[in-house]
């Protein structure tokens, strides 16, 4: 079935539908990864976003039951050059189109994604619409102009109940605030000897403490970080008491809790090959990233935070630690680093911070 993509600047791209046939309006962004479309599909940080895949062939290895980052994908839609409906992979259980149809996620193929990515780079992320080919440009643009972005995305993607992920011979209890958490983060914490209690976004500080945590983890998630008022308050209440580790949105929440400000990037960072320098040892890591916002560095000197990592493409802040070593955060995703365990050390630092806190309490 033919359909089209309409951008808020009036440009139209014609293609063919796959997945759901619904018409939808979302912010459009792009991802430069060559693989990992299942993880992108099920990453809640893409809630209500159309993702343009710059790699031209998507769907060729299908989807495997063990590789989801969340149980219910909430991505706005996929836009690709070529979609493969007949995967070749002994592990796959469903095609990309089948899963998208099940979850009512629209897709467009046969789009000139090379041109589309260049448009987004030049004009920035923008509001867009996937619609029937018969929809007039004027009608589509009117709907786009009147669209209001949601401010309750964290409530949409968070778990509705507390759940536990335990490991044998555990050493630490970690409470993870679910802002759209990726399951691979939980698996990584389990590998490091942590029992993980996943709690809904909006859990109060008092409720967090009832789980007797050795550390608090703040997850990735969608939307504007300034909307995360409840998690910001959690950090302000606990940052001098308990070790806290934040990834992606969690990094931004920690910054806001310490008086810093955030801003929206022109087209964000989304891909699997972003170079980041660790300022403490001068090593460069190749990182996986997915975010629209970054932290302004103007007030760093007056805060409790020290910059530990920077992005070598645009010098944006990629990591913090606090001067009392109870806070740790990175903007990228160490649990899905392209290199061979390049970023495992960040989880080890979190473990060390929890161990040191135990030592202080015992003393």
Are 338 and 272 in contact, with CB atoms under 8 Å apart? yes
Task: Tell me whether residue 251 is one of the annotated catalytic residues.
Answer: no
Q: Tell me, what's the pLDDT at 325?
A: 82
- Active-site position among 248, 269, 285, 318: 248
Give me the CATH code for the 153-362 domain, please.
Answer: 3.40.50.880
2-145 domain in CATH 3.40.50.300? Answer: no
Can you tell me the distance from the alpha carbon of 100 to that of 42, in angstroms, rounded to the nearest whole number? 10
Are 61 and 34 in contact, with CB atoms under 8 Å apart? no
Task: Tell me whether residue 360 is one of the annotated catalytic residues.
Answer: no
- DSSP, res 168: T
Query: Does 153-362 match 2-145 at the fold level?
Result: no
- Active-site position among 183, 269, 309, 333: 333
- Active-site position among 8, 27, 285, 335: 335
Are 326 and 239 in contact, with CB atoms under 8 Å apart? yes
Q: Where are the domains of the chain?
A: 2-145, 153-362
Q: Tell me, what's the pLDDT at 336?
A: 80
CA separation, residue 166 to residues 71, 133, 160, 195, 201 (Å): 18, 50, 19, 4, 20
Q: Nearest 5°: phi and psi at 68? A: -75, 145
Task: Tell me whether residue 335 is one of the annotated catalytic residues.
Answer: yes
Residues 6+ apart with CB under 8 A from 130: 3, 4, 5, 23, 24, 50, 77, 79, 106, 108
> What is the pTM assigned to this prediction?
0.95
Can you tell me the distance from the alpha carbon of 61 to that of 87, in angstroms, rounded to the nearest whole number? 5
Are 209 and 181 in contact, with CB atoms under 8 Å apart? no
* pLDDT tens by residue, the chain, 363 residues: 799 999 999 999 999 999 999 999 999 999 999 999 999 999 999 999 999 999 999 999 999 999 999 999 999 999 999 999 999 999 999 999 999 999 999 999 999 999 999 999 999 999 999 999 999 999 999 999 999 999 999 999 999 999 999 999 999 999 999 999 999 999 999 999 999 999 999 999 999 999 999 999 999 999 999 999 999 999 999 999 999 999 999 999 999 999 999 999 999 999 999 999 999 999 999 999 999 999 998 888 888 899 999 999 999 999 999 988 899 999 999 998 665 556 789 999 999 999 998 776 654
């Amino acid at each position: 079935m033919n359909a089209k993509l309409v951008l808020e600047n009036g440009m139209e791209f014609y293609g063919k539908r796959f997945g759901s046939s619904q018409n939808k309006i979302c912010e459009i962004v792009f991802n430069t990864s060559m693989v990992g479309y299942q993880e992108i599909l099920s990453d809640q940080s893409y809630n209500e976003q159309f993702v343009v895949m710059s790699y031209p062939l998507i769907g060729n290895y299908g989807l495997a039951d063990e590789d989801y980052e969340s149980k219910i994908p909430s991505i706005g839609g996929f836009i690709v050059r070529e979609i493969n409906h007949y995967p070749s992979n002994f592990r796959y259980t469903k095609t990309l189109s089948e899963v998208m149809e099940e979850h009512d996620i629209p897709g467009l193929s046969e789009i000139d994604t090379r041109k589309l990515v260049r448009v987004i780079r030049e004009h920035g992320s923008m509001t867009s619409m996937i619609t029937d080919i018969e929809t007039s440009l004027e009608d589509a643009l009117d709907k786009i102009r009147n669209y209001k972005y949601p401010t309750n995305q964290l409530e949409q993607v968070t778990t509705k109940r507390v759940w536990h992920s335990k490991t044998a011979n555990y050493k630490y209890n970690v409470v993870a605030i679910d802002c759209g958490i990726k399951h691979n983060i939980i698996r990584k914490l389990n590998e490091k000897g942590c029992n993980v209690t996943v709690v809904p976004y909006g859990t109060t500080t008092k409720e967090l403490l009832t789980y007797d945590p050795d550390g608090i983890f703040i997850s990735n998630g969608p939307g504007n970080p300034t909307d995360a008022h409840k998690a910001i308050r959690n950090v302000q209440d606990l940052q001098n008491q308990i070790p806290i580790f934040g990834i992606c949105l969690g990094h931004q929440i920690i910054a806001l809790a310490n008086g810093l400000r955030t801003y929206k990037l022109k087209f964000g960072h989304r891909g699997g090959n972003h170079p980041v320098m660790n300022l403490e040892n001068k090593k460069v890591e190749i990182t996986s990233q997915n975010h629209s916002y970054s932290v302004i560095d103007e007030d760093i000197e007056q805060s409790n935070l020290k910059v530990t990592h920077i992005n070598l493409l645009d010098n944006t802040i990629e990591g913090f630690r606090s001067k009392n070593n109870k806070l740790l955060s990175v903007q990228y995703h160490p649990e899905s680093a392209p290199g061979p365990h390049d970023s495992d050390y960040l989880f080890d630092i979190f473990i060390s911070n929890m161990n040191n806190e135990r030592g202080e309490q015992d003393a």
